[in-house]
């Protein structure tokens, strides 16, 4: 494919051409490799290569490339068909912070805006340009992983992305990859997602200041809690807190108090595995471990995990509780239906 770009040849372009010994008369012709014949049945395809290599042009040969529009005063969640649809689509791109979902698009960070734009485009046949181009590489990897997982779970088809970054390949695992620079066309399904190893260290409640704004219910913490920090490759990514279980009959029992993963690392499954690891500490020490959550993604994960057993209060409104305590602890929450489980281990 040959693309011709013309501009007025003036004293500026003449000076540039002379300085760099560039033969220029007002026209630049670019050769772009044509897309090969694409598979008839695929979920995700990726056009990758350097900026200016023709990725956008090739993407447009497949159809219209549209962006999402946002009302500057409405929450980003308000742009979906239902609140449930918003939660599902945001979870699909690793945007799991309930407080941030309630903000308008203009008040979000670049990484959060990228995830919101992506959530609006989740459908069969979507064509998405500049995939992960405007975000840091941690967000790029986590969003790619969450995106792949959602596409597989919903059996979406015919999605094509264009990106200048190669570091997302193992996290996105596309069905095919076309490199505009080399002309290579190959499968990406053989790629394996890199292992995520989280190192957990005991800490204190003061570290909560780094995480509290991202908790979906409360900024408060019980200072008597056992606190833990999670690190991935020397980067702080998660915080967890554990309290004694409030029961006079169940001995040596504990309960989850706070679990937060920093937004850049959401979408990689760290939150659930981090929570499991904290529970394992107490179960291995001969105790019992309970956890209650109002977050739908964590609750649904535990409902389907053999590591957790639902309690008698799972997904039931606690009408037996008359008030909430000073820490806004949803163990004493009588206003919302929560998931409630005991950790069994495996």
CATH number at residue 281: 3.40.630.30
192 domain residue, yes or no = no
Pairing type for strands 44-48 and 159-163 reads: parallel
Same domain, yes or no: 129 and 273? no
Q: Which of 186, 221, 253 is the last residue of a domain?
A: 186
Same domain, yes or no: 244 and 222? yes
Pair 263, 189: CB distance under 8 Å: no
Tally the domains of the chain: 2
Q: Which of 186, 208, 227 is the last residue of a domain?
A: 186
34 domain residue, yes or no = yes
Q: What residues have CB less than 8 Å from 120, skipping those under 6 apart?
A: 68, 79, 80, 89
Q: What is the CATH number of the domain that holds 19?
A: 3.40.50.300
Partners of 227 in the beta sheet? 203, 241
Same domain, yes or no: 154 and 211? no
Same domain, yes or no: 53 and 161? yes
Same domain, yes or no: 132 and 231? no
Q: What pLDDT sits at residue 47?
A: 96
Give residue 145's domain range: 2-186
Q: Which of 166, 186, 206 is the last residue of a domain?
A: 186
Q: What pLDDT sits at residue 19?
A: 87
Full pLDDT tens readout for the chain, 346 residues: 666 678 888 888 888 888 888 888 887 777 778 888 999 899 999 999 988 788 999 999 999 888 889 999 999 999 999 999 999 999 889 898 888 899 999 999 988 999 999 999 999 999 999 999 888 899 999 999 999 999 999 999 999 999 999 999 999 999 999 999 889 998 877 888 889 999 999 999 999 999 998 887 778 999 999 999 999 988 999 999 999 987 777 888 999 999 999 989 998 999 999 999 999 999 999 999 999 998 888 999 999 999 999 999 998 876 655 555 444 444 555 567 799 999 998 7
Same domain, yes or no: 224 and 146? no
Q: What is the pTM of this model?
A: 0.78
Instruction: Assign 223 to helix, strand or coil.
Output: coil
């Amino acid at each position: 494919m040959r693309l011709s770009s013309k501009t007025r040849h003036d004293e500026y372009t003449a000076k540039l051409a002379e300085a760099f010994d560039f033969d220029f008369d007002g026209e630049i012709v670019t050769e772009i490799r044509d897309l090969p014949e694409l598979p008839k049945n695929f979920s995700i395809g990726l056009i990758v290569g350097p900026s200016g290599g023709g990725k956008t042009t090739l993407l447009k040969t497949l159809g219209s490339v549209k962006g999402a529009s946002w009302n500057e005063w409405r929450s980003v969640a308000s742009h979906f068909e239902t609140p449930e649809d918003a939660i599902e689509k945001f979870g699909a791109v690793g945007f799991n912070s309930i407080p941030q979902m309630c903000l308008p698009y203009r008040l979000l960070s670049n990484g959060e805006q990228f995830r919101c734009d992506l959530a609006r485009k989740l459908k069969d046949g979507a064509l998405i340009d500049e995939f992960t181009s405007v975000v840091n590489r941690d967000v790029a990897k986590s969003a790619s992983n969450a995106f792949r997982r959602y596409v597989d779970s919903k059996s979406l088809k015919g999605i094509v992305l264009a990106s200048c970054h190669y570091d997302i390949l193992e996290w996105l695992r596309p069905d095919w990859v076309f490199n505009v620079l080399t002309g290579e066309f190959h499968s990406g399904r053989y790629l394996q997602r890199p292992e995520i190893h989280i190192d957990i260290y005991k800490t204190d409640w003061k570290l909560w200041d780094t995480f509290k704004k991202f908790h979906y219910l409360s900024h408060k913490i019980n200072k008597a809690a056992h606190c833990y920090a999670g690190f991935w490759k020397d980067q702080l990514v998660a915080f967890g807190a554990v309290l004694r279980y409030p029961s006079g009959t169940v001995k040596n029992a504990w309960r989850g108090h706070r679990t937060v993963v920093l937004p850049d690392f959401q979408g990689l499954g760290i939150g659930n595995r981090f929570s499991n690891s904290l529970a394992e500490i107490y179960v291995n020490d001969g105790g019992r471990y309970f956890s209650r959550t109002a977050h739908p993604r964590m609750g649904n994960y535990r409902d389907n995990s053999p590591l957790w057993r639902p309690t008698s209060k799972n997904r039931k409104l606690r009408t037996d509780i008359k008030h909430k305590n000073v820490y806004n602890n949803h163990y004493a929450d009588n206003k919302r239906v929560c998931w409630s489980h005991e950790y069994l281990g495996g």
